[in-house]
């Protein structure tokens, strides 16, 4: 603190010294000019007239020199060049257009259908009819379990059911001849139905030994091997270590890849726009870009909009569907979604770069027929991909797109000349770039 205080004291002392020196010099200058100021007070009209008559030729020569210098300056440095001349700009004539209302979102690809194949009975795997990554059809045989016991049980119960049916038919004939009572016939009928039911149950049990695909899709990694023991309602997956391989999880997972679904969320503020378009029975279309390269773009439609808003993120879930004929899209990939929610009819659309943001808000420069600009305030209602929908100007107005720097209301402008190699557009005013 002592060093700082000493520095401040020295600075204050120098300021006082400069103040004293300035006062001294001003007093000296006043004393030197005082005699001349006193003589100026004595100048009157006769003295001035006598001075002019005496030095008239010299005064005339000085005036001529000043006049000639002024003309020469104006000739070599004209006002247009000194002021910079009209500012070069690029303009465009405003037109009314139909602008699609697009909502941007990010989401994830999800399969249209995924089925984990698990056994319904406890048995050993006899044959595997599917390979890793194979395309399968609905109803295609995937696995065959050891069915010897189930087949023998079915054949046994089927024979009993056939015998019970014959006993019932024989009892029916005997009742007609009054050899047995009707109660015996009813008992025979009950035995036949019970045997048939047992046979059908055995047939169903036998069908569990042949595992088939319920959907069209692609098989994942097969997690079992011939001879593996699988158990009903057990979670099956495969884990391999240095000594053994064990299976837990599904035997295999079938994933439908074509078509592919995309799930994303829409902010709560955009929900009325989507629902308004849904009332008109017009399908909502989407453009989906997979990955970060932007090369793989797919067009599809919205399948469903969720019936409730997630309060944690203030958004609603939406699911769309896109074609995947080449099977290039896999579930779980990152997706960028452009949802065409609505279309704005007959609106004023201008390039976004034509809008100037100032302290008073947004404005555009309108060029009149005399090539002078006027700043007009506007309001932006929608903006997407370099195009803004605004209010505040009329269709047919010519606005400045490029060259807005240093423009003020009343500034003179001129259109940039189009490059010789470029052809001017046929349906719009000049939009060439400035030099």
Q: Is the peptide bond before 421 cis (omega within 30 degrees of 0)?
A: no
Instruction: Specify the 3-state DSSP secondary structure of 387.
Output: strand
Mean pLDDT to the nearest integer, 141-170: 93
pLDDT tens, 163-184? 999 999 888 888 888 888 888 8
Alpha helices in 301-416 (DSSP H): none
> Given this model, what pLDDT does residue 425 score?
45
- Of 102, 101, 106, 103, the C-alpha closest to 336 is 106
pTM tops 0.75 = no
| Cα–Cα dist 168/185, whole Å | 7
Cβ atoms 344, 337 nearer than 8 A: no
pLDDT band at residue 197 using 50, 70 and 90 as cut-offs: very high
- In the chain, what are the helix, strand and coil shares in percent, each to the nearest 5? 35, 35, 30
| Residue with the larger pLDDT of the pair 392 and 56 | 392
| Residue with the larger pLDDT of the pair 249 and 122 | 122
pLDDT tens, 37-95? 566 556 666 777 777 787 778 788 888 888 888 887 777 665 544 455 788 888 999 98
Q: Is the pLDDT of residue 297 over 60?
A: yes
Q: Which domains does the chain have, with CATH numbers?
A: 2-80 (no CATH), 87-97+346-415 (2.40.420.20), 119-138+219-250 (no CATH), 147-208 (1.10.287.470), 254-344 (2.40.30.170)
CA 123 to chain CA centroid, Å, is: 51
The helix or strand, by DSSP H or E, that contains position 161, with its residue range, turns out to be helix 148-176
pLDDT band at residue 147 using 50, 70 and 90 as cut-offs: very high
Burial 219-243 (b: 16+ CB within 10 A, else e): bbebbbeeebebeeeeebebeeeee
> Given this model, what pLDDT does residue 177 score?
82
Percent of the chain with pLDDT over 90: 32
* Candidate from 106-115, 124-133, 227-236, 301-310 with smallest mean pLDDT: 227-236
Mean pLDDT to the nearest integer, 407-429: 63
| Cα–Cα dist 264/304, whole Å | 11
- Of 424, 389, 413, 329, the C-alpha closest to 86 is 413
In eight-state DSSP terms, residue 227 is T
pLDDT band at residue 97 using 50, 70 and 90 as cut-offs: confident
Both tokens of 397, joined, read 């107005």
> Given this model, what pLDDT does residue 179 score?
81
Cβ atoms 86, 412 nearer than 8 A: yes
> Given this model, what pLDDT does residue 365 score?
92
> Given this model, what pLDDT does residue 161 score?
93
Mean pLDDT to the nearest integer, 403-421: 76
Q: Is the pLDDT of residue 321 over 70?
A: yes
> Given this model, what pLDDT does residue 160 score?
94
> Given this model, what pLDDT does residue 206 score?
93
Mean pLDDT to the nearest integer, 378-391: 86
The helix or strand, by DSSP H or E, that contains position 13, with its residue range, turns out to be helix 2-42
> Given this model, what pLDDT does residue 80 score?
45
Alpha helices in 43-147 (DSSP H): 45-54, 56-76, 79-82
| Residue with the larger pLDDT of the pair 78 and 409 | 409
Mean pLDDT to the nearest integer, 375-387: 86
Average predicted confidence (pLDDT) for the chain: 81
> Given this model, what pLDDT does residue 336 score?
92
> Given this model, what pLDDT does residue 4 score?
63
């Amino acid at each position: 603190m002592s060093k700082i205080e000493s520095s401040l004291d020295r600075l204050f002392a120098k300021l006082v010294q400069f103040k004293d020196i300035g006062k001294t010099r001003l007093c000296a200058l006043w004393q030197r000019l005082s005699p001349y100021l006193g003589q100026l007070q004595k100048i009157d009209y006769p003295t001035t007239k006598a001075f002019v008559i005496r030095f008239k030729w010299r005064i005339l020569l000085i005036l001529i020199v000043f006049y000639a210098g002024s003309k020469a300056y104006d000739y070599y440095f004209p006002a247009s060049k000194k002021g910079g001349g009209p500012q070069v700009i690029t303009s465009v004539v405003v037109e009314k257009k139909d602008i699609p209302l697009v909502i941007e979102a990010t989401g994830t690809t999800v399969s249209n259908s995924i089925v984990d194949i698990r056994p319904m009975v406890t048995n050993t795997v006899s044959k595997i009819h599917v390979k890793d990554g194979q395309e399968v059809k609905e109803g295609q045989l995937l696995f065959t379990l050891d069915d010897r016991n189930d087949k023998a049980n079915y054949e046994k119960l089927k024979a009993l059911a056939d015998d019970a049916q014959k006993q019932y038919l024989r009892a029916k004939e005997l009742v007609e001849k009054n050899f047995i009572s009707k109660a015996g016939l009813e008992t025979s009928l009950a035995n036949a139905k019970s045997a048939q039911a047992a046979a059908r149950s055995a047939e169903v049990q036998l069908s569990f030994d042949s595992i088939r695909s319920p959907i069209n899709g692609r098989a994942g990694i097969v997690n079992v091997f011939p001879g593996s023991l699988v158990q009903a309602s057990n979670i099956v997956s495969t884990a391999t270590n240095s000594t053994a391989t064990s299976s837990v999880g599904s035997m295999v997972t079938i994933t439908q890849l074509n078509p592919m679904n995309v799930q994303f969320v829409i902010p709560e503020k955009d929900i009325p726009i989507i629902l308004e378009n849904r009332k008109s029975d017009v399908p909502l279309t989407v453009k989906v870009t997979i990955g970060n390269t932007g090369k793989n773009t797919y067009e599809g439609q919205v399948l469903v909009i969720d019936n409730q808003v997630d309060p944690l993120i203030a958004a609603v879930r939406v699911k769309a569907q896109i074609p995947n004929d080449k099977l290039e899209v896999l579930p779980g990939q990152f997706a960028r979604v452009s949802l065409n929610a609505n279309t704005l009819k007959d609106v004023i659309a201008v390039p976004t770069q034509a809008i100037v943001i100032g302290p008073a808000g947004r404005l555009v420069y309108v060029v009149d027929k005399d090539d002078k600009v006027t700043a007009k305030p506007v309001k932006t209602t929608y903006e997407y991909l370099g195009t803004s929908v605004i209010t505040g100007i009329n269709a047919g107005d010519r606005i400045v797109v490029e060259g807005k720097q240093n423009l003020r209301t009343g500034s003179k402008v001129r259109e940039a000349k189009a490059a010789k190699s470029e052809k001017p557009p046929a349906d719009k005013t000049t939009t060439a770039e400035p030099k």
